[in-house]
Structure 1
Amino acid sequence: MPKRNLLLCFDAFGTLLKPKQPIAQQYGDVARSLGLRGFTDEQVQASFKVAFKQESKENPNFGKANGMTPSRWWEKIIGNTFRPLVVGPDAKLHQELAPRLLYRFSSEEAYDLLPGVLPFLQDLRTSPPSGIERIAVGIITNSDDRVPSVLTSLGLRVSPLVYGSDGAKSRPSPDETTYDIDFTVMSYDVGHEKPDRRIFEAAEGLLATLPAANGTSPDAWAKVYVGDEHGKDIVGARNAGWHSVLLNEAPSDLPHGVRQLDEQTSGDLLHDLKDGPVGVASFGNLAKAFGVSSNRGIGS
Protein backbone atom coordinates (compact mmCIF):
# COMPACT_ATOMS: atom_id res chain seq x y z
CA MET A 1 0.00 0.00 0.00
CA PRO A 2 1.50 3.40 -0.96
CA LYS A 3 2.46 5.85 1.76
CA ARG A 4 0.16 8.80 2.41
CA ASN A 5 0.75 12.35 3.60
CA LEU A 6 -1.33 14.01 6.33
CA LEU A 7 -2.29 17.66 6.75
CA LEU A 8 -3.86 17.79 10.22
CA CYS A 9 -5.30 21.11 11.38
CA PHE A 10 -7.02 22.14 14.60
CA ASP A 11 -9.36 24.78 15.86
CA ALA A 12 -7.80 26.62 18.82
CA PHE A 13 -10.31 27.73 21.46
CA GLY A 14 -12.36 24.88 22.88
CA THR A 15 -10.31 22.32 20.96
CA LEU A 16 -6.67 22.78 21.99
CA LEU A 17 -7.17 25.18 24.89
CA LYS A 18 -9.83 26.38 27.30
CA PRO A 19 -10.14 29.20 29.88
CA LYS A 20 -8.77 28.37 33.33
CA GLN A 21 -11.88 29.92 34.83
CA PRO A 22 -15.02 31.22 33.12
CA ILE A 23 -14.27 34.34 31.11
CA ALA A 24 -16.75 36.42 33.13
CA GLN A 25 -15.03 35.40 36.35
CA GLN A 26 -11.63 36.41 34.98
CA TYR A 27 -13.00 39.73 33.72
CA GLY A 28 -14.59 40.38 37.12
CA ASP A 29 -11.44 39.45 39.04
CA VAL A 30 -9.28 41.83 36.99
CA ALA A 31 -11.83 44.65 37.32
CA ARG A 32 -12.10 44.18 41.09
CA SER A 33 -8.29 44.14 41.41
CA LEU A 34 -8.40 47.68 39.99
CA GLY A 35 -10.96 48.82 42.55
CA LEU A 36 -14.15 48.45 40.52
CA ARG A 37 -17.07 47.17 42.58
CA GLY A 38 -20.83 46.72 42.60
CA PHE A 39 -21.31 43.82 40.15
CA THR A 40 -21.38 40.05 40.19
CA ASP A 41 -19.75 37.63 37.77
CA GLU A 42 -23.23 36.76 36.53
CA GLN A 43 -23.83 40.41 35.65
CA VAL A 44 -20.46 40.58 33.89
CA GLN A 45 -21.35 37.48 31.90
CA ALA A 46 -24.70 38.89 30.77
CA SER A 47 -23.19 42.26 29.86
CA PHE A 48 -20.25 40.65 28.04
CA LYS A 49 -22.64 38.54 25.98
CA VAL A 50 -24.55 41.62 24.85
CA ALA A 51 -21.36 43.58 24.10
CA PHE A 52 -19.77 40.72 22.17
CA LYS A 53 -22.89 40.12 20.08
CA GLN A 54 -23.24 43.81 19.26
CA GLU A 55 -19.60 44.27 18.30
CA SER A 56 -19.58 41.08 16.21
CA LYS A 57 -22.59 42.37 14.29
CA GLU A 58 -21.24 45.90 13.74
CA ASN A 59 -17.63 44.88 13.11
CA PRO A 60 -17.45 41.18 12.20
CA ASN A 61 -14.18 39.24 12.23
CA PHE A 62 -12.57 41.55 14.79
CA GLY A 63 -13.30 44.60 12.64
CA LYS A 64 -11.00 43.53 9.79
CA ALA A 65 -13.16 44.89 6.95
CA ASN A 66 -13.68 48.19 8.80
CA GLY A 67 -10.00 48.83 9.40
CA MET A 68 -10.03 48.07 13.12
CA THR A 69 -7.22 46.35 14.94
CA PRO A 70 -8.13 43.32 17.09
CA SER A 71 -6.92 45.20 20.18
CA ARG A 72 -9.29 48.09 19.50
CA TRP A 73 -12.11 45.61 18.85
CA TRP A 74 -11.59 43.96 22.23
CA GLU A 75 -11.17 47.31 23.99
CA LYS A 76 -14.65 48.27 22.80
CA ILE A 77 -16.13 45.01 24.11
CA ILE A 78 -14.40 45.44 27.47
CA GLY A 79 -15.65 49.01 27.77
CA ASN A 80 -19.19 48.11 26.73
CA THR A 81 -19.18 45.18 29.16
CA PHE A 82 -18.32 47.24 32.24
CA ARG A 83 -19.82 50.69 31.57
CA PRO A 84 -23.39 49.54 32.31
CA LEU A 85 -22.16 47.94 35.55
CA VAL A 86 -20.19 50.87 36.97
CA VAL A 87 -22.69 53.46 38.21
CA GLY A 88 -22.55 56.80 40.04
CA PRO A 89 -21.76 60.43 39.15
CA ASP A 90 -18.00 59.78 39.10
CA ALA A 91 -18.20 56.35 37.50
CA LYS A 92 -15.42 55.64 35.05
CA LEU A 93 -13.37 52.66 34.01
CA HIS A 94 -9.79 52.26 35.15
CA GLN A 95 -7.34 53.01 32.33
CA GLU A 96 -5.52 49.74 33.00
CA LEU A 97 -8.62 47.55 32.68
CA ALA A 98 -8.42 46.85 28.94
CA PRO A 99 -4.60 46.51 28.80
CA ARG A 100 -4.57 44.04 31.68
CA LEU A 101 -7.35 41.92 30.20
CA LEU A 102 -5.72 41.94 26.76
CA TYR A 103 -2.44 40.82 28.32
CA ARG A 104 -4.10 38.15 30.44
CA PHE A 105 -5.88 36.62 27.45
CA SER A 106 -2.67 36.54 25.42
CA SER A 107 -0.95 33.97 27.62
CA GLU A 108 -1.13 30.98 29.95
CA GLU A 109 -2.48 33.32 32.64
CA ALA A 110 -5.98 32.84 31.18
CA TYR A 111 -5.82 29.43 29.48
CA ASP A 112 -4.95 25.76 29.92
CA LEU A 113 -4.29 23.16 27.24
CA LEU A 114 -6.89 20.43 27.10
CA PRO A 115 -5.63 17.15 28.59
CA GLY A 116 -3.52 15.14 26.19
CA VAL A 117 -2.86 17.87 23.61
CA LEU A 118 0.89 18.15 24.08
CA PRO A 119 1.69 14.42 24.24
CA PHE A 120 -0.55 13.76 21.23
CA LEU A 121 1.23 16.35 19.09
CA GLN A 122 4.65 15.09 20.18
CA ASP A 123 3.80 11.42 19.67
CA LEU A 124 2.33 12.23 16.28
CA ARG A 125 5.84 13.18 15.17
CA THR A 126 7.80 10.42 16.92
CA SER A 127 5.30 7.57 16.37
CA PRO A 128 3.25 8.60 13.33
CA PRO A 129 0.25 6.60 12.12
CA SER A 130 1.08 3.54 10.05
CA GLY A 131 1.31 4.31 6.36
CA ILE A 132 1.85 8.07 6.83
CA GLU A 133 5.04 9.37 5.26
CA ARG A 134 4.83 13.14 5.82
CA ILE A 135 2.90 15.15 8.40
CA ALA A 136 2.07 18.86 8.60
CA VAL A 137 0.16 20.30 11.57
CA GLY A 138 -1.63 23.65 11.49
CA ILE A 139 -4.13 25.86 13.28
CA ILE A 140 -7.21 27.26 11.54
CA THR A 141 -9.11 29.53 13.89
CA ASN A 142 -11.64 32.32 13.96
CA SER A 143 -9.36 34.56 15.97
CA ASP A 144 -6.86 37.40 16.02
CA ASP A 145 -3.08 37.46 16.26
CA ARG A 146 -2.82 36.33 19.90
CA VAL A 147 -3.21 32.62 19.18
CA PRO A 148 0.47 31.78 18.52
CA SER A 149 1.60 33.56 21.69
CA VAL A 150 -1.03 31.80 23.79
CA LEU A 151 -0.03 28.38 22.46
CA THR A 152 3.66 29.13 22.90
CA SER A 153 3.14 30.21 26.49
CA LEU A 154 1.36 26.90 27.12
CA GLY A 155 4.44 24.93 26.07
CA LEU A 156 3.86 24.21 22.39
CA ARG A 157 6.59 24.77 19.83
CA VAL A 158 4.83 27.07 17.35
CA SER A 159 6.35 28.00 14.00
CA PRO A 160 6.43 31.72 13.15
CA LEU A 161 4.72 30.94 9.84
CA VAL A 162 1.28 32.58 9.80
CA TYR A 163 -1.04 33.41 6.92
CA GLY A 164 -0.32 36.86 5.54
CA SER A 165 3.16 37.13 7.06
CA ASP A 166 6.35 37.89 5.15
CA GLY A 167 7.17 34.43 3.86
CA ALA A 168 10.89 35.13 3.55
CA LYS A 169 11.10 36.01 7.25
CA SER A 170 8.67 33.50 8.70
CA ARG A 171 9.10 30.38 6.61
CA PRO A 172 10.90 27.67 8.60
CA SER A 173 13.97 26.00 7.08
CA PRO A 174 14.34 22.21 6.80
CA ASP A 175 17.05 22.12 9.51
CA GLU A 176 15.06 23.90 12.20
CA THR A 177 13.82 22.10 15.29
CA THR A 178 10.61 20.22 14.63
CA TYR A 179 7.56 22.25 15.55
CA ASP A 180 4.41 21.00 17.22
CA ILE A 181 2.50 23.53 15.06
CA ASP A 182 3.87 24.20 11.56
CA PHE A 183 1.68 27.21 10.72
CA THR A 184 -1.26 29.27 11.95
CA VAL A 185 -4.20 30.62 9.94
CA MET A 186 -6.32 33.24 11.72
CA SER A 187 -9.56 34.61 10.35
CA TYR A 188 -8.50 38.22 10.92
CA ASP A 189 -5.53 37.76 8.59
CA VAL A 190 -7.52 35.87 5.94
CA GLY A 191 -10.46 38.27 6.03
CA HIS A 192 -12.94 35.39 6.26
CA GLU A 193 -14.20 33.28 9.15
CA LYS A 194 -15.12 29.62 9.36
CA PRO A 195 -17.20 28.05 7.92
CA ASP A 196 -16.10 30.01 4.81
CA ARG A 197 -14.06 27.65 2.65
CA ARG A 198 -11.50 30.37 1.94
CA ILE A 199 -9.97 30.03 5.40
CA PHE A 200 -9.33 26.34 4.70
CA GLU A 201 -7.90 27.19 1.29
CA ALA A 202 -5.51 29.59 3.04
CA ALA A 203 -4.18 26.63 5.05
CA GLU A 204 -3.71 24.64 1.85
CA GLY A 205 -1.68 27.52 0.46
CA LEU A 206 0.59 27.57 3.51
CA LEU A 207 1.10 23.82 3.28
CA ALA A 208 2.68 24.30 -0.13
CA THR A 209 5.37 26.53 1.42
CA LEU A 210 6.50 23.96 4.01
CA PRO A 211 9.65 21.88 3.59
CA ALA A 212 7.51 18.78 4.24
CA ALA A 213 5.54 19.49 1.06
CA ASN A 214 8.56 19.74 -1.23
CA GLY A 215 8.16 17.53 -4.28
CA THR A 216 4.52 16.68 -3.53
CA SER A 217 1.28 17.68 -5.17
CA PRO A 218 -1.78 18.94 -3.22
CA ASP A 219 -3.63 15.75 -4.14
CA ALA A 220 -0.99 13.70 -2.30
CA TRP A 221 -2.19 15.04 1.07
CA ALA A 222 -5.14 13.85 3.15
CA LYS A 223 -6.66 16.90 4.86
CA VAL A 224 -8.21 16.44 8.31
CA TYR A 225 -9.68 19.16 10.54
CA VAL A 226 -10.42 18.75 14.26
CA GLY A 227 -12.77 21.17 16.02
CA ASP A 228 -15.44 21.41 18.70
CA GLU A 229 -18.23 23.24 16.82
CA HIS A 230 -20.36 21.33 14.34
CA GLY A 231 -21.43 24.21 12.07
CA LYS A 232 -18.19 26.17 11.85
CA ASP A 233 -15.73 23.29 12.09
CA ILE A 234 -17.29 20.07 10.84
CA VAL A 235 -19.63 21.47 8.19
CA GLY A 236 -17.12 24.14 7.16
CA ALA A 237 -14.30 21.63 6.71
CA ARG A 238 -16.50 19.20 4.81
CA ASN A 239 -17.70 21.91 2.41
CA ALA A 240 -14.04 22.82 1.77
CA GLY A 241 -13.25 19.24 0.80
CA TRP A 242 -11.63 18.23 4.10
CA HIS A 243 -12.30 15.30 6.40
CA SER A 244 -13.47 16.38 9.85
CA VAL A 245 -13.37 15.19 13.45
CA LEU A 246 -15.63 16.62 16.17
CA LEU A 247 -14.09 16.82 19.65
CA ASN A 248 -17.12 16.18 21.83
CA GLU A 249 -16.99 15.02 25.46
CA ALA A 250 -20.57 13.71 25.33
CA PRO A 251 -20.74 10.78 22.87
CA SER A 252 -24.50 10.52 23.38
CA ASP A 253 -24.97 14.09 22.14
CA LEU A 254 -23.48 13.98 18.65
CA PRO A 255 -25.05 15.94 15.79
CA HIS A 256 -26.78 13.99 13.03
CA GLY A 257 -24.34 12.48 10.59
CA VAL A 258 -21.38 12.32 13.01
CA ARG A 259 -20.33 8.82 14.12
CA GLN A 260 -18.66 8.14 17.45
CA LEU A 261 -15.30 6.33 17.26
CA ASP A 262 -14.29 6.23 20.92
CA GLU A 263 -15.30 2.67 21.73
CA GLN A 264 -14.46 0.84 18.52
CA THR A 265 -11.80 2.16 16.21
CA SER A 266 -9.75 0.58 13.47
CA GLY A 267 -6.66 2.62 14.33
CA ASP A 268 -6.78 3.94 10.75
CA LEU A 269 -8.69 7.18 11.05
CA LEU A 270 -8.20 8.16 7.42
CA HIS A 271 -10.02 4.99 6.40
CA ASP A 272 -12.82 5.61 8.91
CA LEU A 273 -13.28 9.19 7.69
CA LYS A 274 -14.15 8.00 4.20
CA ASP A 275 -17.67 7.38 5.54
CA GLY A 276 -18.05 10.91 6.88
CA PRO A 277 -17.30 12.96 10.02
CA VAL A 278 -16.51 11.19 13.29
CA GLY A 279 -16.59 12.21 16.93
CA VAL A 280 -14.01 11.63 19.66
CA ALA A 281 -14.26 12.51 23.33
CA SER A 282 -10.60 13.30 24.04
CA PHE A 283 -7.11 13.49 22.62
CA GLY A 284 -6.46 10.05 24.03
CA ASN A 285 -9.27 8.74 21.86
CA LEU A 286 -7.97 10.73 18.91
CA ALA A 287 -4.57 9.06 19.32
CA LYS A 288 -6.19 5.61 19.32
CA ALA A 289 -8.26 6.48 16.28
CA PHE A 290 -5.13 7.56 14.40
CA GLY A 291 -3.09 4.62 15.64
CA VAL A 292 -0.57 6.91 17.34
CA SER A 293 1.29 5.02 20.06
CA SER A 294 3.06 6.27 23.18
CA ASN A 295 4.97 4.52 25.91
CA ARG A 296 4.05 7.20 28.44
CA GLY A 297 0.29 7.21 27.82
CA ILE A 298 -1.89 10.13 26.83
CA GLY A 299 -4.27 11.81 29.22
CA SER A 300 -7.93 11.31 28.51
Structure 2
Amino acid sequence: MSMVSRLRCITIDVTGTLIAYKGELGDYYCMAAKSVGLPCPDYNRMHEGFKTAYSDMAKQYPCFGHAAKMSNIIWWKSCVKDSFVRAGYDYDEETFEKVFRRIYSTFGSSAPYTVFPDSQPFLRWARQQGLTVGIVSNAEYRYKDVILPALGLSQGSEWDFGVFSGLEGVEKPNPRIYEIALERAGNIAPEEVLHIGDSMRQDYLPAREVGMHALLLDRFKTPAAESWRQTGAPVLPDLVEAQAWLTSGRLCNRDTSFSSHDSSSSSSSSSSSSV
Protein backbone atom coordinates (compact mmCIF):
# COMPACT_ATOMS: atom_id res chain seq x y z
CA MET A 1 0.00 0.00 0.00
CA SER A 2 1.37 3.42 -0.92
CA MET A 3 1.80 6.07 1.76
CA VAL A 4 -0.39 8.53 -0.11
CA SER A 5 -3.34 6.18 0.31
CA ARG A 6 -2.87 6.34 4.09
CA LEU A 7 -2.91 10.13 4.26
CA ARG A 8 -5.76 12.60 4.46
CA CYS A 9 -3.70 15.79 4.51
CA ILE A 10 -0.34 17.23 3.49
CA THR A 11 1.03 20.40 5.05
CA ILE A 12 3.95 22.21 3.51
CA ASP A 13 6.44 24.96 4.29
CA VAL A 14 6.85 27.92 1.93
CA THR A 15 10.31 29.50 1.68
CA GLY A 16 12.93 26.98 0.61
CA THR A 17 10.23 24.40 -0.10
CA LEU A 18 7.76 26.00 -2.52
CA ILE A 19 9.44 29.31 -3.32
CA ALA A 20 12.83 30.99 -3.07
CA TYR A 21 14.25 34.49 -2.97
CA LYS A 22 15.71 35.86 -6.20
CA GLY A 23 19.04 37.62 -5.91
CA GLU A 24 20.45 39.08 -2.70
CA LEU A 25 19.01 41.36 -0.05
CA GLY A 26 21.46 44.03 -1.13
CA ASP A 27 19.98 44.09 -4.63
CA TYR A 28 16.63 45.32 -3.35
CA TYR A 29 18.03 47.70 -0.77
CA CYS A 30 20.32 49.14 -3.45
CA MET A 31 17.41 49.66 -5.86
CA ALA A 32 15.43 51.38 -3.11
CA ALA A 33 18.31 53.72 -2.32
CA LYS A 34 18.92 54.51 -5.99
CA SER A 35 15.24 55.31 -6.49
CA VAL A 36 15.66 58.38 -4.27
CA GLY A 37 19.07 59.37 -5.65
CA LEU A 38 21.26 57.69 -3.02
CA PRO A 39 24.28 55.48 -3.70
CA CYS A 40 23.94 51.73 -3.20
CA PRO A 41 24.57 50.55 0.35
CA ASP A 42 27.41 48.10 0.89
CA TYR A 43 25.95 44.63 0.33
CA ASN A 44 27.86 42.84 3.09
CA ARG A 45 27.20 45.50 5.71
CA MET A 46 23.56 45.63 4.70
CA HIS A 47 23.20 41.87 4.92
CA GLU A 48 24.77 41.68 8.38
CA GLY A 49 22.79 44.70 9.57
CA PHE A 50 19.55 43.12 8.45
CA LYS A 51 20.31 39.75 10.06
CA THR A 52 20.92 41.41 13.43
CA ALA A 53 17.99 43.79 13.15
CA TYR A 54 15.58 41.03 12.11
CA SER A 55 16.75 38.74 14.91
CA ASP A 56 16.30 41.50 17.49
CA MET A 57 12.81 42.40 16.25
CA ALA A 58 11.76 38.75 16.15
CA LYS A 59 12.85 38.31 19.78
CA GLN A 60 11.28 41.53 21.04
CA TYR A 61 8.12 41.36 18.93
CA PRO A 62 7.68 37.75 17.74
CA CYS A 63 5.27 36.80 14.97
CA PHE A 64 5.61 40.24 13.40
CA GLY A 65 4.32 41.98 16.52
CA HIS A 66 1.16 39.86 16.84
CA ALA A 67 0.97 39.88 20.67
CA ALA A 68 1.84 43.58 20.85
CA LYS A 69 -0.88 44.33 18.28
CA MET A 70 1.79 46.04 16.19
CA SER A 71 0.84 46.60 12.58
CA ASN A 72 2.80 44.73 9.96
CA ILE A 73 4.10 47.90 8.33
CA ILE A 74 5.32 49.34 11.66
CA TRP A 75 7.13 46.08 12.47
CA TRP A 76 8.92 46.11 9.14
CA LYS A 77 9.65 49.84 9.29
CA SER A 78 11.43 49.37 12.62
CA CYS A 79 13.33 46.38 11.27
CA VAL A 80 14.42 48.08 8.06
CA LYS A 81 15.37 51.31 9.85
CA ASP A 82 17.55 49.38 12.29
CA SER A 83 19.07 47.42 9.39
CA PHE A 84 20.27 50.60 7.72
CA VAL A 85 21.53 52.11 10.98
CA ARG A 86 23.49 48.97 11.84
CA ALA A 87 24.96 49.00 8.34
CA GLY A 88 26.11 52.60 8.87
CA TYR A 89 23.36 54.46 6.97
CA ASP A 90 21.30 56.80 9.14
CA TYR A 91 19.03 58.60 6.67
CA ASP A 92 16.83 61.52 7.64
CA GLU A 93 13.17 60.62 8.21
CA GLU A 94 11.89 61.90 4.87
CA THR A 95 14.55 60.03 2.91
CA PHE A 96 14.14 56.86 4.94
CA GLU A 97 10.37 56.93 4.44
CA LYS A 98 10.83 56.93 0.66
CA VAL A 99 13.42 54.15 0.78
CA PHE A 100 11.30 52.06 3.12
CA ARG A 101 8.15 52.41 1.02
CA ARG A 102 10.04 51.04 -1.97
CA ILE A 103 11.38 48.09 0.03
CA TYR A 104 8.05 47.30 1.68
CA SER A 105 6.23 47.45 -1.64
CA THR A 106 8.80 45.25 -3.37
CA PHE A 107 8.73 42.50 -0.73
CA GLY A 108 4.95 42.60 -0.70
CA SER A 109 4.87 41.67 -4.38
CA SER A 110 5.99 38.66 -6.40
CA ALA A 111 9.12 40.48 -7.62
CA PRO A 112 11.73 39.09 -5.15
CA TYR A 113 10.53 35.49 -5.32
CA THR A 114 10.65 32.57 -7.67
CA VAL A 115 8.50 29.43 -7.58
CA PHE A 116 10.17 26.06 -7.90
CA PRO A 117 8.84 24.45 -11.10
CA ASP A 118 7.60 21.38 -9.24
CA SER A 119 5.61 23.31 -6.61
CA GLN A 120 2.34 23.97 -8.40
CA PRO A 121 2.18 20.52 -10.06
CA PHE A 122 2.82 18.77 -6.74
CA LEU A 123 0.17 20.75 -4.85
CA ARG A 124 -2.41 20.17 -7.56
CA TRP A 125 -1.52 16.48 -7.71
CA ALA A 126 -1.98 16.15 -3.94
CA ARG A 127 -5.41 17.77 -4.07
CA GLN A 128 -6.36 15.53 -7.00
CA GLN A 129 -5.63 12.53 -4.75
CA GLY A 130 -8.34 13.83 -2.42
CA LEU A 131 -5.84 15.18 0.12
CA THR A 132 -6.37 18.42 2.01
CA VAL A 133 -3.34 20.68 1.47
CA GLY A 134 -2.26 23.22 4.07
CA ILE A 135 0.45 25.86 4.20
CA VAL A 136 2.42 26.17 7.48
CA SER A 137 4.80 29.11 7.40
CA ASN A 138 6.63 31.59 9.61
CA ALA A 139 5.38 34.41 7.42
CA GLU A 140 3.15 37.47 7.64
CA TYR A 141 -0.25 38.02 6.12
CA ARG A 142 0.98 39.25 2.74
CA TYR A 143 2.16 35.75 1.87
CA LYS A 144 -1.41 34.52 2.16
CA ASP A 145 -3.21 37.47 0.59
CA VAL A 146 -0.75 38.76 -2.03
CA ILE A 147 2.54 36.97 -2.55
CA LEU A 148 1.51 33.33 -2.97
CA PRO A 149 -1.48 34.15 -5.22
CA ALA A 150 0.74 36.42 -7.34
CA LEU A 151 3.13 33.49 -7.76
CA GLY A 152 0.37 31.18 -8.97
CA LEU A 153 -0.04 29.36 -5.64
CA SER A 154 -3.59 30.24 -4.67
CA GLN A 155 -5.95 29.08 -1.97
CA GLY A 156 -8.63 26.94 -3.55
CA SER A 157 -6.54 25.70 -6.46
CA GLU A 158 -3.14 24.80 -4.95
CA TRP A 159 -3.90 24.76 -1.22
CA ASP A 160 -6.92 24.59 1.07
CA PHE A 161 -5.90 26.36 4.27
CA GLY A 162 -2.99 28.32 5.64
CA VAL A 163 -1.37 28.71 9.04
CA PHE A 164 0.84 31.82 8.97
CA SER A 165 2.74 32.88 12.10
CA GLY A 166 1.95 36.56 11.63
CA LEU A 167 -1.76 35.78 11.69
CA GLU A 168 -1.73 33.08 14.39
CA GLY A 169 0.70 34.53 16.92
CA VAL A 170 2.71 31.31 17.09
CA GLU A 171 5.64 30.25 14.97
CA LYS A 172 7.79 27.26 14.16
CA PRO A 173 9.42 25.40 15.85
CA ASN A 174 6.64 25.69 18.44
CA PRO A 175 4.62 22.48 17.95
CA ARG A 176 1.44 24.48 18.56
CA ILE A 177 1.52 25.77 15.00
CA TYR A 178 1.21 22.17 13.77
CA GLU A 179 -1.64 21.53 16.18
CA ILE A 180 -3.41 24.54 14.68
CA ALA A 181 -2.86 23.02 11.24
CA LEU A 182 -4.47 19.76 12.38
CA GLU A 183 -7.46 21.70 13.70
CA ARG A 184 -7.69 23.77 10.51
CA ALA A 185 -7.67 20.57 8.46
CA GLY A 186 -10.76 19.35 10.29
CA ASN A 187 -9.22 17.82 13.43
CA ILE A 188 -7.52 15.13 11.37
CA ALA A 189 -5.48 12.60 13.35
CA PRO A 190 -1.77 13.50 13.15
CA GLU A 191 -0.83 10.07 11.81
CA GLU A 192 -2.92 10.86 8.73
CA VAL A 193 -0.88 13.97 7.94
CA LEU A 194 2.49 14.49 6.27
CA HIS A 195 4.44 17.71 6.70
CA ILE A 196 7.05 18.70 4.10
CA GLY A 197 9.70 21.32 4.82
CA ASP A 198 13.38 22.15 4.55
CA SER A 199 14.40 22.54 8.20
CA MET A 200 15.08 19.80 10.72
CA ARG A 201 14.50 22.19 13.65
CA GLN A 202 11.49 24.08 12.35
CA ASP A 203 9.75 21.49 10.20
CA TYR A 204 10.71 17.89 10.88
CA LEU A 205 11.13 17.75 14.66
CA PRO A 206 8.05 19.72 15.77
CA ALA A 207 5.81 17.98 13.21
CA ARG A 208 7.01 14.59 14.47
CA GLU A 209 6.51 15.78 18.06
CA VAL A 210 2.78 16.17 17.50
CA GLY A 211 2.61 12.78 15.79
CA MET A 212 2.63 13.81 12.13
CA HIS A 213 4.78 12.19 9.46
CA ALA A 214 7.48 14.48 8.12
CA LEU A 215 9.70 14.73 5.07
CA LEU A 216 12.62 17.06 4.41
CA LEU A 217 13.63 18.57 1.07
CA ASP A 218 17.28 19.30 0.35
CA ARG A 219 17.02 21.52 -2.72
CA PHE A 220 20.43 23.12 -2.24
CA LYS A 221 22.54 20.13 -1.22
CA THR A 222 23.14 21.54 2.25
CA PRO A 223 25.93 19.88 4.27
CA ALA A 224 23.44 19.32 7.11
CA ALA A 225 21.36 16.97 4.95
CA GLU A 226 23.64 14.02 5.61
CA SER A 227 23.17 14.40 9.36
CA TRP A 228 19.41 14.58 8.77
CA ARG A 229 19.55 11.23 6.99
CA GLN A 230 21.60 9.72 9.80
CA THR A 231 18.79 10.49 12.24
CA GLY A 232 16.43 8.44 10.06
CA ALA A 233 14.65 11.43 8.53
CA PRO A 234 13.54 10.99 4.92
CA VAL A 235 15.42 13.54 2.78
CA LEU A 236 14.63 14.09 -0.91
CA PRO A 237 15.93 16.61 -3.46
CA ASP A 238 12.60 17.98 -4.70
CA LEU A 239 8.84 17.52 -4.90
CA VAL A 240 9.07 15.37 -8.02
CA GLU A 241 10.91 12.79 -5.95
CA ALA A 242 8.49 13.33 -3.06
CA GLN A 243 5.53 12.51 -5.30
CA ALA A 244 7.20 9.34 -6.60
CA TRP A 245 8.17 8.39 -3.06
CA LEU A 246 4.65 8.83 -1.75
CA THR A 247 3.17 6.59 -4.40
CA SER A 248 5.70 3.77 -3.93
CA GLY A 249 4.56 1.25 -1.33
CA ARG A 250 8.05 -0.16 -0.85
CA LEU A 251 9.13 3.02 0.89
CA CYS A 252 6.94 2.55 3.96
CA ASN A 253 7.80 0.87 7.25
CA ARG A 254 5.47 -1.65 8.85
CA ASP A 255 4.46 0.85 11.54
CA THR A 256 3.24 3.25 8.78
CA SER A 257 6.01 5.75 9.48
CA PHE A 258 8.33 6.66 6.66
CA SER A 259 11.59 4.84 6.13
CA SER A 260 14.80 6.66 5.30
CA HIS A 261 15.28 7.22 1.60
CA ASP A 262 17.95 4.99 0.13
CA SER A 263 21.16 7.00 -0.06
CA SER A 264 22.08 5.80 -3.53
CA SER A 265 18.65 6.80 -4.85
CA SER A 266 18.98 10.20 -3.21
CA SER A 267 22.35 10.92 -4.77
CA SER A 268 21.28 9.74 -8.21
CA SER A 269 18.23 12.01 -8.25
CA SER A 270 19.85 15.12 -6.73
CA SER A 271 20.59 16.50 -10.17
CA SER A 272 16.89 17.30 -10.54
CA SER A 273 16.94 19.69 -7.59
CA SER A 274 16.76 23.33 -8.36
CA VAL A 275 15.53 28.44 -4.04
Give the TM-score, by structure 1 length: 0.73
Counterpart position of 2:97: 95
Give the share of equivalent positions with the same residue, in percent: 27
Higher relative contact order (CA 8 A, sep 6+): 2
2:158 matches 1:155: no
**Match for residue 234 of structure 1?**
204
Alpha-carbon spacing, 1:221–1:135, altered in 2? closer, same or farther (3 Å): farther
Q: For each residue in 1:20-44, what CA deviation from the matched residue of structure 2 results, as whole angstroms up to 9, or x when unmatched?
A: 1122322222222222226211121
Alpha-carbon separation, structure 1, partners of 2:96 and 2:188: 51
- Answer whether contact 1:226 1:245 (CA < 8 A) is retained: yes
Aligned to 2:214, what secondary structure does the other structure show?
strand
Partner of 2:52: 50
CA-CA distance at 1:94 after TM superposition: 3.5
Per the alignment, do residues 153 and 280 of structure 1 end up closer, same or farther by CA in structure 2, a change over 3 Å counting? same
1:15-34 map, 5 Å:
15-34=17-36
Contact 1:83 1:92 in 2 (8 A): no
Change (3 A) 1:57 1:124: closer
Report Cα offsets for 1:229-275 as digits up to 9, x if no partner: 1101111111111111111132764254536xxxxxxxxxxxxxxx9
1:242-253 equivalences under 5 Å are 242-249=212-219, 250=221, 253=224
User: 2:258 aligned with 1:258, yes or no?
Assistant: no
In 2, Cα distance between equivalents of 1:53 and 1:80: 11
The answer on whether the counterparts of 1:106 and 1:150 sit within 8 Å (CA) in structure 2 is: yes
Give the superposition deviation at 1:220.
8.9
- Select between 237-246 and 247-256 the one with higher mean Cα deviation: 247-256
After superposition, the C-alpha distances for 1:130-153 in whole angstroms (9 at most, x for unaligned) are xxxx30001011111011221100
The change in CA–CA distance for 1:42 and 1:251 in structure 2 (over 3 A counts) is closer
Taking the aligned partners of 2:209 and 2:155, their CA distance within structure 1 comes to: 28
Q: Is residue 206 of structure 1 aligned with residue 202 of structure 2?
A: no
Aligned residues: 245
Residues 74-109 of structure 1 deviation map (CA, whole Å, 9 limit, x = unaligned): 111111112353358x68633222222222112211
Structure-1 separation of matches of 2:51 and 2:105: 20
Taking the aligned partners of 1:258 and 1:94, their CA distance within structure 2 comes to: 46
Q: What residue number does 1:222 align with?
A: 192
Normalized per residue, the structure richer in helix is: 2
Q: Is the 8 A contact 1:83 1:93 kept in 2?
A: no
Gaps of 5+ in 1: 129-133, 160-178, 209-216, 260-274, 293-298
- Tell me if the contact between 2:173 and 2:201 (Cα under 8 Å) persists in the aligned partners: yes
CA distance in 1, matches of 2:21, 2:222: 22
2:41 is the alignment partner of 1:39:
yes
CA deviation after TM superposition for structure 1 residue 291, in Å: 2.6
